[in-house]
A and B are shown apart, each in its own frame.
Chain A
Amino acid sequence: MTKELAIHAKGISKTFHISEDSHNTVKHRLFNLFNPPRSKRVEAIKTMDFDVYKGECIGLLGRNGCGKSTLIRLLAGVFPVDKGQIKIHGNTLLMNLGVGMSHQLTARENIYVSSSVLGLKIKEIDKIFDQIVDFAELREFVDTKIKYFSSGMVARLGFSIAVNAGADIMFLDEIFAVGDMKFQEKAIKIFESSWIEGKTVILVSHSMDVIQKYCSRTAFMKNGSLIYFGDTATAVQMYVEDNHK
């Protein structure tokens, strides 16, 4: 049986140009037409190729600043690549502290908007609406604007939408850091149930236990380069050694 591609990345790279002077107004740009701002090049992602197949759970390891977050933003289609090509088959969800929500909208409106952005039809959202509200423990505040919520309540709602709505390809960036201890336990439970079954997942975590438990293949990154992509045990070993240098 041939494996179906979820993500195909070929020769991708990303460099950020961090300028000292912002030059972000028309006036600035006109007056400095022949004096472009000095900028520092930061090679966040160095040329790399890889494929991720449908239904895989991939781990992503590396020390802080190695380019993990940039890579998942490129793969999720949030940032454009400078070079190379990424083919994404399906809709994506990039999740760290929940999903994107508007503070001007109520919890109900955010549930509909975010779930719709994740690819669900209104009838499908109607079906999971109560599940989302109950999981987030926000039944009493469903018609309250989320600008009046505490940060924990917002995070719970975002997490609950992501868990119940999902997406074809999910990029989970340190998701077990959401909410209080009780909610974290709930998050782990849901993760261990059928949530990620059949979904393509790229999991970013500093927890070796989490990576070893769920990921069939793992990538190890260092200074923007993909050093290794394959067997999880080897990637974990390389990460541990890198941390002890």
Chain B
Amino acid sequence: MIIAILTDWFKRSNKSERIWLLAKIEFKLRYYENKLGLLWALIKPLMDIAIYYVVFQTIMKQDIPAFASYLFIGLISWNFFVESTTGTVQILHTKKYLYEYSNMNKLEIYISTLLSNSIGFCFNFIMFLLFYNLIEKGTHFSTLHTLWILPLFVNLFMLALATSLILSNIFVAAKDITQVWQVFTSFLFFLSPIFYGLDRFKASLPGFEYLNPIAGIIINARKATMEGTNPDFKLFLFDFSYAIIFLMIGLFLLNKLGSKAAEKL
């Protein structure tokens, strides 16, 4: 069945081309219309890193080795998740023009938007690798374990897609989910080990890395890219399971609430 769907998407129909076209246009709209263009995609995480570095390393003296890189990989993963979810809460409203005149599958709209964010993530990740290997002092060079970032990113993509599906379909019935999600993400930000040391995070919130899938992905991304080790497979399995379960809920909601988007929004 999966092979049949993939063959249809990539060979028989124009779906894959359409998704890529929409992703490219979305990316262009986001960055190329600003004066600084694509630089914004790189400046934003660098500025965030600078702020958190000053607060947590210089003022609070956390003393985490290679803290700038530690922050970098955590922040770009977190930013991908937040931009992909916050930016898509109203997607069925803003992209209504794509489905109100045809029977286009709405899932394509989500995938193209997340693909556009993935392009940004790729730029950021390359910047991270350059920073970690060339600028950060007292670290080993990246190893082959860095390639674990690929399945970890697939996990992150699935989780963001699932959350985006859930939120945007709730939006069809309850518009203020946008505000609710903003508050929730602020809370989740502080409950993820983005700028805390992992030991402190685990000691303060024991077992919480298994409850918060973003925390698990960030922990494993650091293991793969900075520690040069395999990810924690138990955590990896947990996070993938979360993504699959949320994705199923999201698709159910898309079928139930999203199908009425054209008449409700």
Chain A residues within CB distance 8 Å of chain B? 16, 24-29, 73, 76-80, 88, 91-95, 99-102, 104-105, 109, 112-113, 116-122, 167
Contact = CB atoms under 8 A, between A and B. Distances in A.
Given A78-B262, A91-B102, A116-B21, A24 B173 contact: yes
A93 B101 contact: yes
Contacts, number: 86
Nearest to B170: A26
Nearest to A121: B14
Contact of A100 (B14, B96, B260): B96
15 contacts: A16-B263, A26-B176, A26-B180, A27-B176, A77-B103, A88-B103, A91-B102, A91-B103, A94-B100, A100-B99, A112-B21, A113-B25, A113-B98, A117-B104, A118-B102
Nearest to A90: B103
B17 interface: yes
B17 A116 contact: yes
B94 to A, nearest CB: 9
A122 B21 contact: yes
A113 B24 CA distance: 11
B41 interface: no
Given A25-B174, A80-B259, A117 B25 contact: no
Contacts of A112: 21
B175 interface: yes
Contacts of B122: none
A94 B180 CA distance: 35
Contacts of A91: 102-104
A105 B14 contact: no
B97 A101 contact: yes
A80 B260 contact: yes
A120 to B, nearest CB: 6
A24 B174 contact: yes
A79 B97 contact: no
A17 B103 CA distance: 23
B50 interface: no
Contacts of B96: 100
B101 A100 contact: yes
B14 A119 contact: yes
B161 to A, nearest CB: 20
B103 A76 contact: yes
B102 A94 contact: yes
B29 interface: yes
B253 to A, nearest CB: 14
A100 B102 CA distance: 9
B100 A78 contact: yes
B17 A121 contact: yes
Interface string B165-184: 00000000111110010000
Given A80-B259, A91-B102, A117 B177 contact: no
B102 A93 contact: yes
Q: Which of B13, B14, B177, B262 has the most CB of A within 10 A?
A: B14
Interface in B1-32: 13-14, 17-18, 21-22, 25, 29
B115 to A, nearest CB: 15
B173 A76 contact: no
Contacts of A26: 174, 176-177, 180
Nearest to B263: A79
A155 B262 CA distance: 21
Given A24-B175, A26-B174, A119-B14, A78 B21 contact: no
